[in-house]
Structure 1
Amino acid sequence: MTKNKTAYKTGLALPIQYLKNIGPKRALYLKRIGVETIEDFLFLVPRRYIDRTKISKIRELTTGQHGSVYGKIIATGTRKTKAKGNIVRIVVTDQTDILEAVWFNRPDLKSGFKTNQPVILSGNVTYYERKQMVNPFYEIITEDSDSDKSFVYTGSIIPIYPLTEGLSNWEIRRPMQNAINSYLHLIPESLSHSILNQYSFPTIKNTITNLHFPKNLIDAQIGQERLKFEEFFYLELILALRKLAQSCQQKGYTLPEKGFITSKFLKLLPFQLTQGQNKVLSQIKADMAKPTSMNRLLQGDVGSGKTVIAVYAMLIAIENAFQAALMAPTEILAEQHYLVWHDKLKELGIDSCLLTSSTKTAQRKSYLADIQTNKIKIIFGTHALIEQDIKFHKLGLAIIDEQHRFGVMQRAALINKGINPDFLVMTATPIPRTLQMTLYGDLEISVLAEKPPGRKRIITRLTTDKERDKIYKFIQDKITEVRQVYIVCPLIEESEKLDLKAAIKTYEQTSKIFAQFRVGLVHGKLKSSERINIMEQFRRHELDILVTTTVIEVGVDIANATVMVIEHPERFGLAQLHQLRGRIGRGQETSYCILIGPDSSFAPAMHRLKFFEQNDDGFLLAEKDLEIRGPGQLLGTRQHGLPDLRFADLTEDRALLFKARDEAFALIDADPNLSKPENQIIRSTFLSKFKDRTELLRVG
């Protein structure tokens, strides 16, 4: 929980080592699980609970099932083996049968068990000469009424905490009562009475008590739900306030479409816009015509045609005598945008330029002068666009491509190059609804679901190394048909630990195998000019095969490339695999994505890769990726300037998220300044949590 000045005065921020029964050594173990203060300790949520009323008799245990038993230790022993290290074992009986419990590599347990001690064991039941549990949870029961331990066992519900080596469940539960007795009264209420009443949530003090010493499982569950709701509520409150700040901000520019450039632009295109593209354009046009700044997220699956919409929006800004800038995360992507659109913009009489860290000094100086005098009206670039010496004449539209790769302050820096310019962010990474409501809850969202007509579905096949000869024959056939091929590897340098194919090694092997063809190599350690040159060679079909790392993950659009081979696909997330696959299937020909995966013994990866093989819906894959990898790895919540989730889970707790969002947005609608007496608890809690995070309210 948040540490504030009040906490330091009251003792909630007291280092945990000073709590009775903790000390310096246990404090180090607790630090490993994120506990450094009394407040952290009180908010340490158990992973699960054991209901002592549902403890089984040993004779009732079934192999392969999870069970909990209560019995007495009748034998103990330890031994050391080369293969499995220290082995600690005990034998327990409850008069109905005996059960052996075994722990591997836990030398700290050697002196922990004594015969005739009562003990609770909980774990999966196996059979080896007798019924057995391997590495089970254990709790030694102390019935000494004079001991300060006895309080722990008076209830029927036992909380099981997240642990680390050297720390037992009992060593957490024993001092927890001390923390509750001495410090619980210092934790202020953080939800209003109306919210507590509406959802039948307990007070914060009852919540903490019920987490650690519940009378029943329902009390424990309600306590956890309250903490999850509260976490979502304050996160959504940030987004509601962001949205309010944007609507109340200094007026932006009114940029209506005038048509004298955009109509010519449409005639230059070799295709017609899809119904979906026209719908999204209507939303963007309506935003730009308003006197307040546009703040919109455009998400579209790979190959759905987002960039043409971005260019159209930039032309609306030009029609109104403003400039527009598009910032991309990589030089390859920025270069591609520039090369694809530069000539068409020139036909419209509009000068554009490309600004990256590789732009030569003299050229850069010339560009900066032309940008400042409005000679150059559209600027494509990378992070180089936000360098201090770049001054726009009149920036009316700022666009960020693949925006999840930029941090909060980078996005703010681009916006600050103008005075409240319209702001459009784009992503080809489909965003699950739960992430839309958290990371992007302050933005208006446009979704581009359909792909341009005529594009065929990409055929995806999951195979193994045994099929490599067939794959090579297939590649040879496709190149003979005048098609091009990507071979994607996850790392540049060989790693014995991960046993991955290195791109350099794969390039050398590929060059030998396909000696009759032209093979190129591109990776992140090449100089930018070299990377761009190689990509241009591939684009001009001066190369047949491109061995590459994930530098081609986003934006690269070469219609003649119809085959992609991905080495070690188990090392990629589903969303990243989908982005890679999206580099092919850009033309009218059937395309093929071949995954050379691990053998079937690697079950978790194979299950995920099978799901990828059978699905090409980016939104479905994004939901699955969120479920498997969590939001942090999927998009990086810290990049968005939002607090990490400690109690709630975006996948499992969606219903609570929706309720919390409704409450937060309704509250800000009714009381924007949180000034009403009944909302003072929320106001003070919000300021306490986020008083040092003012950027949360500034940048979407």
Structure 2
Amino acid sequence: MSGMYEVITPNIDVSRIKGVGPKMAEKLQSIGIYKADDVIFHLPSSYVNQSVVNLNDAEHNDNVTVEGTVKTEPSIAFFRGGKSRLTCFMDVDGIYVKVTFFNQPYLKEKLINGEFARVFGKFNKNKLEINGQRLIFDTDGGYQVRYSLNQQMHAKTFRKFVEAVFENCRFNKDLPEHLKQKYRLMNIREALWHIHFPLNDKVLHEARRTIKFYELYEFQLSLMEKRKQERVYNDHYIIDYDVERLKSFISTLPFELTGDQKRSVNEICRDFKQKISMHRLLQGDVGSGKTIVAGICTYAVKTIGEQTAVMVPTEVLANQHYESFTDTFKDELSVEKLTGTTSRREKAAILERLRNGDIDLLIGTHALIEDDVVFNKLSLIITDEQHRFGVNQRSKLSRKAYRKNVLYMTATPIPRTLSITTFGDMDVSIIREMPKGRKPVETYWRRFDETDKVLEMVKKEVDSGRSAYIVAPLIEESETLDLKNVQEIYHIFAEYFGEETVELIHGKMKPNEKVFGMSRFESLEKKVLVSTTVIEVGVNVPNATFMVIFNAERFGLSTLHQLRGRVGRSDLQSYCVLVSDAHTENAKLRMEIMTSTTDGFELSERDLEMRGPGDYFGVRQSGLPQFKVADITEDYRMLEAAREEAVNVLESSGGKE
């Protein structure tokens, strides 16, 4: 076959493919096809199954493809406006069928009395008629194959280039034999051929299954390779902490750890004893106790006289962590905080103690990556809500480390499939259990015309000495509209409760104004806080038992859950009211889901199903792979199998000891 044209390699320029001239090469390049490989991996966008059916098995009004013998000379009737009707009779499976084509008079020359024909159209079983849509002359297994070609060429033309590449290309992609046998997969070349030129539904399904696995496996291999490059074996990485001191410390805590907390601590501490840098993600729903886990691990590092840094995206969250660590660990850990508002004198004192090794744990915002922040021996870096930091910011802090061990924490429950694809190069620990005594937040959905009832519900809680959050939506990410909206809501509540009871926070405020407003709410000076989503992460007011979210349909499930997580942070019963008229089916479904469960991981899976992986984090994640055939939400079991096989490759090639 290859004697007809030069044998080409997969990465050869598209202009050297048989039949592709300079102009056609430009057209192909305009749709992202530059190499021979790109041609065969430019897969069909859809198929129309035109497989021949037995007319005896067809139902009334089915679209069918039939074949048989033309029994009469076609006749044409013309009407006003140039419209026409072509009619003939055919013998199809022993049934005498009338076939009609509207406005296709040129088919008269193709339908020859006494000869074979194949017709696609709608079958009227009662009248034994087929309203023909097209004659079929050239199909593969009865499929009309369609491509996304941006109107640069016909599908038929592109298929010739695909054929030319298959005929002349020296193929260099395949899966290992043991995986093909284990999962009953085709050769990659064979699978691609059947996707472009399908024989039947079964073969097409198997071909697509093969390419799905190939894509997921190759992606996981690339993550494993990245993981291997980032993790270098060296005895220096071992944190040989004092196990007995750590156990004694844990026994002094005023509460018992949940099973998930214990397991997460064990996983992290096991990492510490390995001669490889830790790279772990700690996922935990809001209020699940990630801070306790982080504190215990910080204490483990302290037992060998070394330091921990916690980097957070906002000053509010830095304050929250600082208070949480100091309250929980008292004098057991030396904790300091460094943010953009830390005074010069205070900062100088902190930096000196940090260099001397007198600080066990430094919590801060981006201020931690400044050049003058020098640690004595930084051996554990904890990054909270790491997706809010750029790669450069994270790596700049890592370069300060004496032993590079990184723990990423997130309060955003991430669906397992996204965890494998976006954080696939990390080990993952998950905290699903909530601490004892926590009661699920009761969630209700109310319409806007029930706002008076909502105000009464809030008043009942406030009169009982409790606090409430009132959240206004961020509309099209416009601070102007946001400000106008939040102020309108503030006036409603200020008029109802009095200005002395209601605090206002919004995105236009300066950082110190936000901190001041938040402090008045935290100290219970103000019992009602009207705010935008600035309170989504990092605010901890155990006295707050009520939340109202206006225009709740404007938020994704994960954001609503994060907001709801600001209440229910004590043993008091808490409530969340979603105010929305929810005009669309999608919005109604979200309200129903939110009122039916408080499990953040279940919600994250539903959110992924509804929004798709690209928009899960609210903005398109550049790190998410774009697969040709695979779908990480539908093919999650295959994704997990592909990951397992990729991990096996890593281990067998020396990725673990």
Shift of the 120–505 alpha-carbon distance from structure 1 to 2, 3 Å rule, reads farther
Query: Equivalents in 2 of 1:185, 1:486: separation in Å?
Result: 64
Q: Would you say 1:257 and 2:242 are equivalent positions?
A: yes
1:255 partner amino acid: D
> Which SS does the other structure have where 2:173 is aligned?
coil
Q: Establish whether residue 475 from structure 1 lines up as the match of residue 458 from structure 2.
A: yes
Aligned 8 A contact 1:494 1:501 in 2:
no
Conserved? CA contact 1:408–1:641, under 8 Å: no
Counterpart Cα distance in 2 of 1:330 and 1:316: 26
Q: 1:220 to 1:38 in 2, by over 3 A?
A: same
Structure 1 distance, partners of 2:379, 2:22, is 61
Task: Decide whether the 8 Å contact of 1:460 with 1:613 is kept in 2.
Answer: yes
In structure 1, C-alpha distance between the alignment counterparts of 2:597 and 2:85, rounded to whole Å: 50
1:295 is aligned to 279
Corresponding residue SS for 1:546: strand
Q: Is 1:229 aligned with 2:213?
A: yes
Equivalent pair of 2:66/2:120 in contact (CA under 8 Å):
yes
Cα pair 1:73 1:116 within 8 Å, conserved: no
Native 8 Å contact 1:566 1:594 kept in 2: yes
The aligned residue for residue 642 of structure 2 is 660
Please report how far the alpha carbon of residue 635 of structure 1 lies from its aligned counterpart in structure 2 after TM superposition: 4.6
Q: CA deviation at 1:592?
A: 0.9
**1:606 lines up with 2:608 in the alignment:** no
Match for residue 331 of structure 1 among 315, 319, 337: 315
Residue 321 of structure 1 deviates from its aligned partner by 0.8
Corresponding residue for residue 396 of structure 1? 379
Deviations 1:75-126, CA, capped at 9 Å, x for gaps:
999x9xxxxxxxxx9999898799999xxxxxxxxxxx86556999899x9x
* Separation in 2, partners of 1:613, 1:93: 60
The reply to whether residue 321 of structure 1 matches residue 305 of structure 2 is yes
CA distance in 1, matches of 2:480, 2:221: 44
Which residue of structure 2 aligns with residue 439 of structure 1? Answer: 422
Structure 1 segments unaligned to the other structure (5+ residues): 1-5, 80-88, 102-112, 126-130, 144-151, 674-696
Shift of 1:26: 8.3
Are residues 207 and 277 of structure 1, via their aligned partners in 2, closer, same or farther at CA, if it must alter by over 3 Å? closer
Structure 2 SS opposite 1:153: coil
Q: Which residue identity lines up with residue 562 of structure 1 in the other structure?
A: T
Which of 605, 609, 625 aligns to 1:627? It is 609
Which one of 600, 618, 640 corresponds to residue 618 of structure 1?
Answer: 600
- How far apart are the structure 1 equivalents of 2:387 and 2:84? 52
8 Å CA contact retained: 1:211, 1:223: yes
TM-score normalised by the chain length of structure 2: 0.80
Which segment is superposed worse, 351-360 or 301-310?
351-360
In the alignment, the residues of structure 2 paired with residue 214 and residue 347 of structure 1 have an alpha-carbon distance, to the nearest angstrom, of 70
> Structure 1 residue 569: deviation in Å?
2.1
CA distance in 1, matches of 2:365, 2:504: 23
Q: Deviations over 1:526-557 (max 9, x none)?
A: 32222222221111112222122222222322
C-alpha separation in 1, matches of 2:483 and 2:63:
40
Bigger Rg, structure 1 or 2: 2
Output the CA distance in 2 between the equivalents of 1:496 and 1:382.
Answer: 23
Corresponding residue of 1:180: 163
Query: 1:76 & 1:418 partners in 2: Cα distance?
Result: 85
In structure 2, the partner of 1:280 is 264
Amino acid aligned to 2:211: L
1:10 pairs with 2:12: yes
Q: Is the alpha carbon distance of 1:258 and 1:221 closer, same or farther for their aligned partners in structure 2, counting shifts above 3 Å?
A: closer
SS of 2:446's equivalent?
strand
Alpha-carbon distance in structure 1 between the residues aligned to 2:562 and 2:474: 17
For residues 542 and 569 of structure 1, the distance between their equivalents in structure 2, rounded to whole angstroms, comes to 28
- Percent sequence identity is 33
Structure 2: distance between partners of 1:658 and 1:622: 18
* 2:553 partner letter: E
* Equivalent in 43, 50, 54 of residue 45 of structure 1: 43
Distance 2:260 2:63 in 1: 54
Question: What is residue 650 of structure 1 aligned with on the other side?
Answer: 632
- CA distance 1:498–1:537, shift in 2 (3 Å): closer
Matched AA of 1:478: E
User: Counterparts of 1:135-214 in structure 2 under 5 Å?
Assistant: 153=139, 155-162=141-148, 171-182=154-165, 185=169, 187-214=171-198
CA-CA distance at 1:327 after TM superposition? 1.2
1:443-473 residue CA offsets vs partner (Å, 9 max, x unmatched): 3333222211112121111222122121112
Q: 1:176 to 1:74 in 2, by over 3 A?
A: farther
CA RMSD, aligned part only? 4.5
Q: For each residue in 1:351-383, what CA deviation from the matched residue of structure 2 results, as whole angstroms up to 9, or x when unmatched? A: 432223343455444433332232333111123
Task: Name the SS for the 1:10 alignment partner.
Answer: coil
User: 2: distance between equivalents of 1:56 and 1:526?
Assistant: 72
**Shift in Å, 1:329:** 2.2
User: How high is the TM-score relative to the length of structure 1?
Assistant: 0.76
Q: 2:331 aligns with which of 324, 347, 350?
A: 347
Instruction: Sort the Cα spacing of 1:383 and 1:178 in 2 relative to 1 into closer, same or farther, 3 A.
Output: same
Distance in 1, Cα, partners of 2:351 & 2:627 = 42
Displacement, 1:36? Answer: 6.5
Hey, what's the Cα distance between the residues in 1 that align with 2:367 and 2:458? Answer: 39
Distance 2:86 2:564 in 1: 56
Which piece of structure 1 moves more, 385-394 or 447-456?
Answer: 385-394
Number of residue pairs matched by the alignment: 618
Instruction: Show CA shifts across 1:379-436 (max 9, x none).
Output: 1112332234432110021111223333444433333221333322222222333334
Residues of 1 paired with 2:420 and 2:106: CA distance? 55
- In 1, the alpha carbon distance for the partners of 2:219 and 2:367 equals 32
Distance 1:533 1:56, change over 3 A: farther
The alpha-carbon distance between structure 1 residues 499 and 342, as it changes in their structure 2 partners (threshold 3 A), is closer
- 2 CA distance for matches of 1:195 and 1:318? 46
Q: CA deviation at 1:233?
A: 0.8
Q: Which residue of 2 aligns with 1:147?
A: none
1:411 corresponds to which of 394, 397, 406: 394
Question: What are structure 2's unaligned runs of at least 5 residues?
Answer: 1-7, 68-73, 90-96, 111-117
Alpha-carbon distance in 2 for matches of 1:261, 1:203: 53
Aligned residue number for residue 202 of structure 2: 218
**1:356–1:382 Cα contact (<8 Å) kept:** yes
Q: Does the C-alpha gap of structure 1 residues 458 and 52 become closer, same or farther in structure 2, counting only changes over 3 Å? A: same
What code does the residue aligned with 2:502 have? V
CA 1:173 to 1:363, structure 2 compared with 1: closer, same or farther past 3 Å? Answer: farther
Structure 1 position 609, deviation (Å) = 2.3
Matches of 1:538 and 1:174 in 2, distance apart?
A: 68
